[in-house]
Amino acid sequence: MSEKYFIKTYGCQMNVYDSARMASMLEAMGYEKTEKQSEADLVLFNTCHIREKAAEKLFSDLGRALLIKNERLEKGLKTVIGVAGCVVQAEDEEIFKRAPYVDFAFGPLTYHRLPEILKKIKEKKAENVLDTDFPAVSKFDFLPENKAHGGTAFLAIQEGCNNFCTYCVVPYTRGAEYSRPIADVISEAKRLVSSGALELNLLGQNVNSYHGEDENGHERSLAYLLNKVAEIDGLKRLRYTTSYPADVTDELIACHHNIEILMPYLHLPVQSGSNRILKLMNRRHTRETYLETVQKLKEANSKLEMSSDFIVGFPSETDEDFEQTLDLVQKVQYIQAFSFKYSKRPGTPAAVMENQVEEKVKKERLDILQNKLFTLQENFNKASIGKVMDVLFEEKGRHKGQLIGRTPYMQNVHVVTNEENMFHIQKVLIEDATTNSLKGKVI
């Protein structure tokens, strides 16, 4: 019987992509996937360090993993526990100090070494293995070929970040910015499409600062790449995420006019509406330049809608600063957004800034902001009722015969329909809507 693996993924879409690639590697080694942790011979946690809560979640999950490991041991079954991702890069040996029963740990830049690490552990050549290198040659050169597992697929084109926003750990956990060469991206995109992907989402921490080399060694922009990818036969939808507002070029904006399959939805995290706070955050946009970018994007495609990320309670944020954020939300009319209370991250400049905001104030501001954002989201969803929208079905719903898919605006749609529609795009008449999802029928 083949050994089973279980992966739990925390954090951003890049981690989702990385987990999928690790899963393919394990399957190539003969492992079988399981959704039940208690059945797994190999348990892997792919972790996130972005906020304190995300990192602490790992240690409570590890505690539970130890209990399961011990229960299995009583039945004579062994369990290997591994930790991957950004927490490892940030905590290094701390991981083994806090959880000595972890067998191996590696950062986000070295997961291609998973097979050798597992071999070492199995042959008992090492007690535990830690790998937090920033290798000179990108892991992408070593990973086995990627395949789609549904109608939509992520494709990492860029990784790392040189922006050093003062609150953020990513430049430390994912290292310096790196763009994959054009040819590599195109061949992976073609493989994903030929294995069933109708939608591609090009990923990067700052995807729009992409500058990969073409075959002649010339650096090319994201706009160039989008045009190339859009030419792939059979591809129906194209997205890219996450973008850094100050790096949105006119050439990129033009893509939203020229590329038909580029979805009319853009995630453009603003973080704050106050210029004073944006400066302290070391973001390179102001509320004025941000609003101008949004306006140009909407001029390029009048159907385009926006989403964003927000941080409330950044050090020294006043009620007036916060009002500016609310005002910006009102101006942009986001249709979806993520919002967070500022979380102190060790080693980042903001963690030692004066005038840290009280927890109580952060919570109050978050509630106010989220109320406003949810109202906008609900209004947008309600305005979809009666419309016919293209829906790409991606998963089974909780009820019998129900599938869940996504509209061009990333709205979840629940539809009772033929299972054959799974991983296909169908026209759906929207009949009902809540803050979080839509209901409809295939027409």
Closest CB to ligand F3S among residues 52, 432: 52
Please state the φ and ψ torsions of residue 11, each to the nearest 5 degrees: 90, -150
- Please choose which of ligand SF4, ligand F3S, ligand SAH, none residue 345 contacts, taking the beta carbon within 5 to 8 angstroms, the exact cut-off set by kind: ligand SAH
Task: Tokens for 227, please give them.
Answer: 């045009």
Closest distance to ligand F3S from the beta carbon of 48 (Å)? 3
Contact positions with ligand F3S (CB under 6 A) in 283-302: none
Composition of the chain by helix, strand, coil, percent to 5: 40, 25, 40
The answer to whether residue 423 forms part of the interface with ligand SAH (CB under 6 A) is: no
d(Cα 228, Cα 335) in Å, to the nearest integer? Answer: 29
SS3 of 90, please? Answer: helix
Which of 9, 47, 152, 242 binds ligand SAH (CB under 6 A)? It is: 242
Find the part of the chain contacting ligand SAH (CB under 6 A) among 29-37, 294-302, 318-326, 340-348: 340-348
SS3 of 310, please? Answer: strand
Kindly provide the b/e burial profile for residues 178-195, where b requires at least 16 CB atoms within 10 angstroms of the residue's own CB.
bbbbbeebbebbebbbee
Site residue total, ligand SAH (CB under 6 A): 17
Site residue total, ligand F3S (CB under 6 A): 13
Binding mask 142-171 for ligand F3S (x = CB under 6 A): ---------------------------xx-
Binding mask 172-211 for ligand SAH (x = CB under 6 A): ---------------------------------xx-----
Closest distance to ligand F3S from the beta carbon of 87 (Å)? 8
The answer to whether residue 168 forms part of the interface with ligand SAH (CB under 6 A) is: yes
Contact positions with ligand SAH (CB under 6 A) in 289-328: 309, 311
d(Cα 414, Cα 133) in Å, to the nearest integer? Answer: 44
Count of other CB atoms within 10 angstroms of residue 78: 11
SS3 of 225, please? Answer: helix
The answer to whether residue 440 forms part of the interface with ligand F3S (CB under 6 A) is: no
- Please choose which of ligand F3S, ligand SF4, ligand SAH, none residue 342 contacts, taking the beta carbon within 5 to 8 angstroms, the exact cut-off set by kind: ligand SAH
Closest distance to ligand SF4 from the beta carbon of 351 (Å)? 14
- Please choose which of ligand SF4, ligand F3S, ligand SAH, none residue 289 contacts, taking the beta carbon within 5 to 8 angstroms, the exact cut-off set by kind: none
Inter-CA distances, 321 with 302, 345, 371, 380, Å? 30, 22, 18, 26
Closest CB to ligand F3S among residues 48, 270: 48
d(Cα 225, Cα 211) in Å, to the nearest integer? Answer: 9
- Please choose which of ligand SAH, ligand SF4, ligand F3S, none residue 15 contacts, taking the beta carbon within 5 to 8 angstroms, the exact cut-off set by kind: ligand F3S
Among 370, 265, 352, which residue's Cα sits nearest to residue 311?
A: 370
The answer to whether residue 86 forms part of the interface with ligand F3S (CB under 6 A) is: yes
- Please choose which of ligand SAH, ligand F3S, ligand SF4, none residue 19 contacts, taking the beta carbon within 5 to 8 angstroms, the exact cut-off set by kind: none
The answer to whether residue 348 forms part of the interface with ligand F3S (CB under 6 A) is: no
Counting Cα atoms < 13 Å in the Cβ hemisphere of 339 gives 25
Count of other CB atoms within 10 angstroms of residue 47: 31
Inter-CA distances, 156 with 15, 37, 136, 149, Å? 10, 27, 18, 15
d(Cα 27, Cα 102) in Å, to the nearest integer? Answer: 22
Sites of contact with ligand SF4 (CB under 6 A): 161, 163-165, 168, 170-171, 205-206, 244
Contact positions with ligand SAH (CB under 6 A) in 349-388: none
d(Cα 43, Cα 23) in Å, to the nearest integer? Answer: 11
Burial class (CB in 10 A: 0-12, 13-18, 19+), 32: middle
Which of 179, 271, 384, 421 binds ligand SAH (CB under 6 A)? It is: 271
Contact positions with ligand F3S (CB under 6 A) in 11-40: 11-12, 14-15
Inter-CA distances, 278 with 245, 270, 273, Å? 12, 9, 8
Closest distance to ligand SAH from the beta carbon of 205 (Å)? 4
Closest distance to ligand SF4 from the beta carbon of 303 (Å)? 27
Indicate the length of the chain as a whole number.
443
Contact positions with ligand F3S (CB under 6 A) in 43-62: 48-50
Closest distance to ligand SF4 from the beta carbon of 244 (Å)? 5
The answer to whether residue 345 forms part of the interface with ligand SAH (CB under 6 A) is: yes
Residues 265 and 307 sit within 8 Å (Cβ to Cβ): yes
Q: What residues line the site for ligand SAH (CB under 6 A)?
A: 50-51, 167-168, 170, 205-206, 242, 244, 269, 271, 309, 311, 340, 342-343, 345
Q: What residues line the site for ligand F3S (CB under 6 A)?
A: 11-12, 14-15, 48-50, 85-86, 169-170, 173-174
